[in-house]
Structure 1
Amino acid sequence: MIKTFINRPVLSTVISIILVLLGILGLESLPVTQYPDIAPPTVNIRASYTGANAETVQKSVIIPIEEQVNGVEGMDYITSTAGNDGSATINVFFKQGIDPDIAAVNVQNRVARATPLLPAEVTRAGVVAQKQQTSALMFLSFYTTNENLNDVFLQNYLDINIIPGIKRIFGVGDASVFGGKTYAMRIWLDPQKLAAYSLQPSDVVAAINSQSLEAAAGSLGQNAGGSFEYVIKYKGKLSEPSEYENIIIKSKGQGDFLRLKDVATVRMDALSYGGVGESSGKPAISMGIFQTPGSNAQDIIKDIKKYLKEQEPNMPKGIGYTYNYDSNEFLDASISKVVKTLLEAFVLVFLVVFIFLQDFRSTLIPAIAVPVSIIGTFFFLNLFGYSLNLLTLFALVLAIGIVVDDAIVVVEVVHAKLDKGEKDPKKATVDGMHEITGAIISITLVMAAVFVPVTFITGPTGVFYQQFGITLIVAIVISAVNALTLSPALCALFLRPHKDSAHANKNFIQRLFTAFNAAFNAFTKRYGEGFLILLRHKWLSGVILAGAVILILVFNKAMPTGFVPQEDRGMIFANVELPASSSMDRTYQVMKQLSEKARKIPGVADFTFSTGRGLISGTGSNYGLAFIRLAPFKQRNSTQGQSIDEITGKLFGIAATIPDAKAIFFGPASVPGFGNSAGFQFSLLNKTGADISELDKTAKAFIGELMKRPEVQFAQTSFNTQYPQYQMDINVPRASEAGVPISNIFSTMQGYIGGVYTADFSKYGKQYRVMVQALPENRTDVNSLNSIYVRTAKGEMAPISQFVTLKRVYGPQSVTRFNLFSSVDITGAVNPGYSTGDALNALREVAQSNLSTSYGID
């Protein structure tokens, strides 16, 4: 059969051309990513209980949902967070290989079982379960230089005009704004005026729901045999502040009515006032864009930038945007370096081949065969659903040195036949292939078998390196196909009978070859002499082998371990925490001060921050986050203190000069989807249901011991039970005597202080909420209870302070759970000179020596 390919070189060429064409088509379709997608499929569940504190949210929302969701098919583990802002977040992580779409459907079915167990306010606001996109493509900020445009307008402009278009771009999994300032119809109640008319918030809510509704009145003339048919329209839900102002609350008699504007102020404003953002000193709103698994990151980012460029002429005057983090910058730099290495390896391999074969025609054969193997591999990568990433490219770099061997073996055996006097290259090729065909096949099987075990490694590591192993195996197999088809055909066509060149004139290259041969022969002679020594003293080989094995074991134990190295991605994240219950204004001033100082550091290009939430701290008025974009890689000079480690050190130094600010700085996660940051993250689990204060003490003591280890640069948690709060107690006997239902007391407190989501309205093609709440100045402190009234059974208005007392207590800003156990999330960084594996070993040792059986880590 091999003779057929030698006699028909066109057939061999066509096979190789087909492989190359298929490889080019595969290359065009291959998604480009940094690493294989190894993040576990995740389904995110979100709910909101307006006005509830963290512990109430956990008991009434999270626990019922977790009890139903736990154990869903393919689940690996589950985490949850409840905040004092009423937010509930549950993340369900699945094992590798589980279809995320099927996982999302299964979780939604489990959540549906829990819905009847949830408070009515929660189900009304909605419980959302959807698959979570873990691979962040970019973060960007839209800012304004127009003083007439505030952050509320900015966020809603994005929600209405920009984000929908971004979500429609192929490959975008999600695009979301960091903030809750979507439009809402705000009904600001005046408690004194309501009490004067013997009203309470529930009366206002009832009036809104009865007068702002959608209705289907039908049609006139339908099936009546007439000539015309008329549809009856109703204006539907109210959508303008003036319309809500004129809602009738009750009749005063004699044709006079009490309207909403008489007891409340109506404004079209924000749903939440939980944060303020800036980008390099300008008011800004930040957003994140995430890609779907298997999509091409480079193409998506190009499409996003093209879309935003097209939208620029339509943006209001004064609105601009800046890219805080663009994964393409790091990806392009990484891929280009690997491609450069690939080309360098290609050139070096063939330079070595040329030096040893010392014939241009002979060198040309491997030079043609190797690209066929490399390019053809791209088709199979696309066929298997893989991506073009650093691991597959690294495999191709290694493959060059492996696949060239098959072509060299074919060329050398034909050379040997010609050296022995064979005058016909075709006959020399046929005879040579008859001798080595079996050897080529066996070599291929052996080389492929070396990398087969890599493809059977389980877990994230297995997924990570599976593409590496498969890429090498495919390249090796294609190389064997070339060695049995293309290389013999090229040998028969290109090689010529050898001539006696002993007396021929020698040029420079020939003289160079002569010198090389003499040196190589001398080396071979020395090697032969050394081999004879080992042959006479066989025990010496065993000693050398045993010594090598011992050294391998010693160095393997001493070598630091880690998953992947931390790299400079051109971005630094900041998480800032102020003392418990610090106001939003105070947090803003600290973040602004940090921004002004950080932007003066050489190598820092942009500083964008947002208050009201942290990257690893949850939500709260005392938290802030920042995106610190560094100058492009080519512009930064590491010799002048502009490496990411040196800039991070300077940022820590600046933060140390700001009183009360606890700031940490870290780069993006090494592998997308594995945590929010570089370093390590784990949960301290409370397995026996101990008190929250006891869990807090244990966590602080554990962190203190961990910080003593040299492997750990820092370890911290946002969990803090010292946030000032008020415990609400109700005098039930007194309320019962006055004929005031307990539910009425709660609804009044919620209506005035917590806020009530009472209805919806449509505007700008989107749906927004109607929120009822007391004016901010009427809910500032404990004394505000004196101006809040509740209706008794006699219809009289009594101060709610007669039935309610508030006691000063302390509690957490947010509470978390891991696999249904109460937990504390701890984040840390590794000291320079140590690996992540060293830090994890230190973590286990500290846990073993300091934690009782009531606690654990995961």
Structure 2
Amino acid sequence: MLMYVNVFSKDPNVDQNFLYNYATVNILNEIKRIQGVGRATILGNRSYAMRVELDLERMRAYKVDAEDVMEALAEQSMIGSPGRLGQATGQTSQTLEYVLTWVGRYKTPEEYENIILKANPEGEILRIKDVAKVSLGSSFYDLYSDIDGYPSAAIVLKQTPGSNAAEVIKKVKEKVEQIKQESFPPGMDYAVTYDVSNFLDASIEKVLHTLFEAFVLVSLVVYVFLGDFRSTLIPTLAVPVSLIGTFFFMLMFGMSINLITLFALVLAIGVVVDDAIVVVEAVHEKMHTKHLGPYQATQEVVREISGAIVAITLVMTAVFIPVTFMTGPVGVFYRQFALTMAMSIVISGVVALSLTPVLCAMILRPHSNHAAQRGLVGLVNRGITKIAGRNAFVLRGLLTAVLGLGVGAGVYFLLHNEFVHELASEQIRLTELKTRIIAGVVALLAVLTFRATFSGSDGSEKKRGPLGIFLHLFDRGVEKVTGGYASILGLIVTRRLLTVLVIGAFSYGIMVVNDVLPSGFIPLEDQGMIYGIVQTPPGSTLEYTNAKCHELQAICKEMDEITSVSSIAGYEVLTEGRGSNAGTCIINLKPWEDRKLTSKEIIEELEKKGAEIANIKLEFFEPPAVPGFGAAGGFSVNLLDKTNSGDYKALGEETDKFMAAMGKRKELKGLFTFFAANYPQYEIVIDNDVAMQKGVSIRDAMDNLSIVIGSTWEQGFVRFGQFYKVYVQAAPQFRRFPEDLENMFVKNDRDEMVPYSAFMKIEKQQGLNEISRYNLYPTAPIQGAPAKGYSSGEAIAAIKEVAAETLPHGFDIDWQGLAFDEAKAGNTAIYIFLIVVVFVYMVLVGQYESFILPLAVITSLPVGLFGSFLFLKAMGLANDVYCQIGLVMLVGLLGKNA
């Protein structure tokens, strides 16, 4: 589901029928015309209809049955086409021709009331109004919809494959708002109860915030290790250049900015800066050991380490290229992540061999005390030193802070300029957070540039002030750790057996931890919305279910974290099924920053309070982790009857046993199914012999019941540019209870009214409300969720175990939604990992022209993987798609470092 829009009215004179038809005529078609909208429907069928409600007692008195009414409607309310007078014949000609018209199809209740059923030469006429009441009503009354107590028309939207959800939602909102301004009557309004863009926008904003934080942290870490603002500026500049280049290639490949690609960019910041750091460190080393100038040192470095940069780029790219060929939902995640990472890494390699050397030659200074004393830079530095003396570093710090604040504030206010803001909003959907991030990045670059340009010579400031002391102590600490590591390495490097045993121990540890590490697929996240599924006892009326939904609404209104609740009685969202005992409440939560509780905590609170509602079964589910993969979060499993027996009672019994067995498993919660074979029913039993003796046709008897009780439409009419049907049915007071059948009559072949009780009886029994099938098999759809502390993989494994233990021959299970893809995926991650390792090994073989040297890289993987698995287990996390993506990246990092 892409969006859920409620059109409602606070006017007490407006009912759901009017809202449904208003939305159908004025809103629905406009939405369907929007590119990207794949399906737009209004739940239920409250379209206008002419309701002919029969008075069975008067019909019996006049010896009229339902078939007579249907024939009269078909005969008198019809479209006629008399033709044209004076139409050309090819033989004679005349000046004018005349079109004959006849308004034969009626449109108003009064016209239908005057349709003639019987007439005789004496002038007696029997009309429909003599035996029925005609009114403009609704086609069906099988669903009640409201929002916060106000009747509503519930519009559900789904997008076309490949369309941009955010853009489609934006266009829909603009169109509905336009319609509201132009034509909504007083008191009518609309509310977007759910749309996936809220979660997507909030997630993207959060990732952008993380992107900025990562950029700042990387800059700080680089500065701490390099200890020089000029050196820090070079790799810091490499980050935005690589990311901007990645955006360019993403556009070429038709990719979009989404959670996966932004996630890749966050991780790419730490990777792309490495190549630039390698170049800067190497240039510093040449300048220090050989006393070369920046230009000469850069030349030597480029000649020496170009091969290493290429090798690093190839190894990292080799990790991600194989996974881009994966298919299915997992492949979508891997492909977008891998392509984004690969593009950013390749661009960073190009930057390291082109832009970074140029910046080193231009920005870095020789390791002497005279470089900063020439030109304008020297003049400014001497001025700062003369003014502040020994405290020059303090003055430079103050100037840096003022510059950073000034530049950041200037950019911030510039982006808030009305013209600039509108222009930026059109291009990048500028928000307050994005404005702050842009201003912060520009301010940071300004600070680094100023400090790199007007810092002391030779980095001598490192020895002055608290910052210099900290950097000095940090360098000494790193040297000690490095020395200790080298000593340990010297002790074990000659002990080959010990090395092999350690690697073997880590490899064994990976298998042990992997066995106890819970598996998952795509973890659920707080999307700002919750489904409340209401199930009343079988046979409950729609009004009873609607009242229970309103009780749940009242409970939800008591919670501060909830903004609105949409109630739908007669519909359940899990299987999109219908039934008078089914109900769904769409609970809309406050924005994430405005509430303290998460969606899971709110569900726990609602479960406690919902237990007070009597005589219902109530479960809460979150939306699916990926919109379109299933109706709700958790898992969807189908119990299949493959016996071909057609015995739904047996399927019902096995469903009850299966549900009971699953209910005992601690890994599962929220088990729910609308399948039941115990709905109250009455079977009609006709004595054919008696019916024939009384001149009653069995077919006529059943057709008459189908009209009187079930309702049938005949003909129709056109209003508001829409086609509406004419329904014939007995008035409600004649079809309430089973005993009402005894008061119904059917006409026999002698034009006599024969009571049904003369040849028919009814027997009480139980059966299905609706028949569900999955892959053509009779099925019982079951919804559930992993219990707290358990992953979806553990839940699926538990269900498989229960099925193997309890289901007899001929019954089986199958999956739907994300559970289908998770069960199908199986151990795919292992094969992906092996392919990645082999691919990296082959690239290294080609790079080093040796089959032995790359083994040093490959054998370093068990240590890193064991640490990752151990950390996941300690944190209570599952081995899901995000974890597997991280492991793929880990292979590249370990290979690069090795």
| Cα distance in 2 for residues equivalent to 1:325 and 1:574 | 14
Look up the equivalent residue of 2:159 and give its one-letter code. Answer: Q
Aligned partner of 1:357 in structure 2 is 226
Change (3 A) 1:380 1:742: farther
User: Number of residue pairs matched?
Assistant: 719
1:756 and 2:712 matched? yes
Question: What is the CA-CA distance between 1:595 and the residue it aligns to?
Answer: 1.9
1:400 and 2:358 matched? no
Aligned partner of 2:607 in structure 1 is 652
Q: Is the 8 A contact 1:616 1:718 kept in 2?
A: no
Question: What is the CA-CA distance between 1:355 and the residue it aligns to?
Answer: 2.9
Residue in structure 1 matching 2:626, options 671, 675, 685: 671
Aligned partner of 1:279 in structure 2 is 147
Q: Is the 8 A contact 1:707 1:715 kept in 2?
A: yes
Look up the equivalent residue of 1:630 and give its one-letter code. Answer: L
Residue in structure 1 matching 2:777, options 821, 840, 853: 821
Matches within 5 A, 1:121-136: 136=1
Matches within 5 A, 1:515-534: 515-534=473-492
1:477 aligned counterpart, secondary structure: helix
Residue in structure 1 matching 2:4, options 133, 136, 139: 139
Once the two structures are superposed, what CA deviation does each residue of 1:759-795 show, in whole Å capped at 9, x if it has no partner?
2221111111111111111222233333333222223
2:255 aligned counterpart, secondary structure: coil
Q: Is the 8 A contact 2:295 2:360 kept in 1?
A: yes
Q: Is the 8 A contact 1:294 1:385 kept in 2?
A: no
Residue in structure 1 matching 2:759, options 789, 797, 803: 803
2:2 aligned counterpart, secondary structure: strand
Aligned partner of 2:120 in structure 1 is 252
Look up the equivalent residue of 2:169 and give its one-letter code. Answer: I
Residue in structure 1 matching 2:685, options 705, 714, 729: 729
Question: What is the CA-CA distance between 1:332 and the residue it aligns to?
Answer: 2.1
Question: What is the CA-CA distance between 1:702 and the residue it aligns to?
Answer: 1.3
Aligned partner of 1:774 in structure 2 is 730
Residue in structure 1 matching 2:331, options 462, 466, 470: 462
Aligned partner of 2:885 in structure 1 is none
1:410 aligned counterpart, secondary structure: helix
Aligned partner of 2:593 in structure 1 is 634
Q: Is the 8 A contact 1:218 1:232 kept in 2?
A: yes
Look up the equivalent residue of 1:190 and give its one-letter code. Answer: D
Residue in structure 2 matching 1:444, options 303, 308, 313: 313
Look up the equivalent residue of 1:244 and give its one-letter code. Answer: Y
Aligned partner of 1:64 in structure 2 is none
| Cα distance in 2 for residues equivalent to 1:426 and 1:216 | 94
Once the two structures are superposed, what CA deviation does each residue of 1:51-103 show, in whole Å capped at 9, x if it has no partner?
xxxxxxxxxxxxxxxxxxxxxxxxxxxxxxxxxxxxxxxxxxxxxxxxxxxxx
Look up the equivalent residue of 1:524 and give its one-letter code. Answer: T
1:685 and 2:640 matched? yes
1:827 aligned counterpart, secondary structure: strand
Aligned partner of 2:546 in structure 1 is 588
Q: Is the 8 A contact 1:745 1:790 kept in 2?
A: yes
| Cα distance in 1 for residues equivalent to 2:255 and 2:73 | 55
Mark the runs of 5 or more structure 2 residues left unpaired by the alignment: 370-456, 815-898
1:263 and 2:131 matched? yes
| Cα distance in 2 for residues equivalent to 1:573 and 1:510 | 57
Aligned partner of 1:310 in structure 2 is 178
| Cα distance in 1 for residues equivalent to 2:120 and 2:211 | 86
| Cα distance in 1 for residues equivalent to 2:210 and 2:28 | 39
Look up the equivalent residue of 2:687 and give its one-letter code. Answer: N
Residue in structure 2 matching 1:717, options 636, 656, 673: 673
Aligned partner of 1:190 in structure 2 is 55
Q: Is the 8 A contact 1:454 1:465 kept in 2?
A: yes
Q: Is the 8 A contact 2:639 2:779 kept in 1?
A: yes
Q: Is the 8 A contact 2:38 2:159 kept in 1?
A: yes
Look up the equivalent residue of 1:386 and give its one-letter code. Answer: M
Which is richer in helix?
2
Once the two structures are superposed, what CA deviation does each residue of 1:196-236 show, in whole Å capped at 9, x if it has no partner?
44332222222222222334444444446444444333325
Look up the equivalent residue of 2:184 and give its one-letter code. Answer: M
Look up the equivalent residue of 1:666 and give its one-letter code. Answer: F
| Cα distance in 1 for residues equivalent to 2:505 and 2:771 | 54
Once the two structures are superposed, what CA deviation does each residue of 1:254-282 show, in whole Å capped at 9, x if it has no partner?
45433222222111101111132332233
2:594 aligned counterpart, secondary structure: coil
Look up the equivalent residue of 1:320 and give its one-letter code. Answer: D
Once the two structures are superposed, what CA deviation does each residue of 1:609-648 show, in whole Å capped at 9, x if it has no partner?
12122233732222221112222212212xxxx3323322
| Cα distance in 1 for residues equivalent to 2:150 and 2:558 | 16
Residue in structure 1 matching 2:654, options 691, 694, 698: 698
Look up the equivalent residue of 1:452 and give its one-letter code. Answer: I
Residue in structure 1 matching 2:159, options 288, 291, 298: 291
Moved more, 423-432 or 339-348: 423-432
Change (3 A) 1:196 1:442: same
2:771 aligned counterpart, secondary structure: strand
Question: What is the CA-CA distance between 1:423 and the residue it aligns to?
Answer: 4.8
Moved more, 394-403 or 458-467: 458-467
Q: TM-score, normalised by structure 2?
A: 0.76
Change (3 A) 1:469 1:681: same
Residue in structure 2 matching 1:368, options 237, 240, 261: 237
Mark the runs of 5 or more structure 1 residues left unpaired by the alignment: 1-135
> Rg bigger for which structure?
2
1:613 and 2:568 matched? no
Question: What is the CA-CA distance between 1:425 and the residue it aligns to?
Answer: 4.2
Question: What is the CA-CA distance between 1:727 and the residue it aligns to?
Answer: 0.8
Which is richer in strand?
1
1:203 and 2:63 matched? no
Aligned partner of 1:380 in structure 2 is 249
Aligned partner of 1:235 in structure 2 is 103
Look up the equivalent residue of 2:569 and give its one-letter code. Answer: T
Once the two structures are superposed, what CA deviation does each residue of 1:342-382 show, in whole Å capped at 9, x if it has no partner?
11111222222233333433333322222122122223334
Aligned partner of 2:893 in structure 1 is none
Residue in structure 1 matching 2:34, options 134, 147, 169: 169
Identity of paired residues, percent? Answer: 41
| Cα distance in 2 for residues equivalent to 1:217 and 1:477 | 77
Aligned partner of 1:82 in structure 2 is none
Once the two structures are superposed, what CA deviation does each residue of 1:797-821 show, in whole Å capped at 9, x if it has no partner?
2223333322111111122112222
| Cα distance in 2 for residues equivalent to 1:368 and 1:391 | 24
CA RMSD, Structure 1 to Structure 2 (Å): 2.4
Question: What is the CA-CA distance between 1:752 and the residue it aligns to?
Answer: 0.8
| Cα distance in 1 for residues equivalent to 2:78 and 2:248 | 58
Change (3 A) 1:627 1:514: same
Once the two structures are superposed, what CA deviation does each residue of 1:576-619 show, in whole Å capped at 9, x if it has no partner?
11112122232232222222233113322222212122233732
Change (3 A) 1:216 1:436: farther
Change (3 A) 1:376 1:221: farther
1:491 and 2:447 matched? no
Q: Is the 8 A contact 1:598 1:654 kept in 2?
A: no
Matches within 5 A, 1:737-756: 737-756=693-712
Aligned partner of 1:8 in structure 2 is none
Q: Is the 8 A contact 1:655 1:662 kept in 2?
A: no
| Cα distance in 2 for residues equivalent to 1:192 and 1:286 | 39
Look up the equivalent residue of 1:562 and give its one-letter code. Answer: G
Q: Is the 8 A contact 2:76 2:104 kept in 1?
A: no
Q: Is the 8 A contact 1:252 1:258 kept in 2?
A: no
Q: Which has the higher contact order (CA 8 A, sep 6+)?
A: 1
Question: What is the CA-CA distance between 1:422 and the residue it aligns to?
Answer: 6.6
Moved more, 364-373 or 463-472: 364-373
1:325 aligned counterpart, secondary structure: strand
Change (3 A) 1:233 1:440: farther
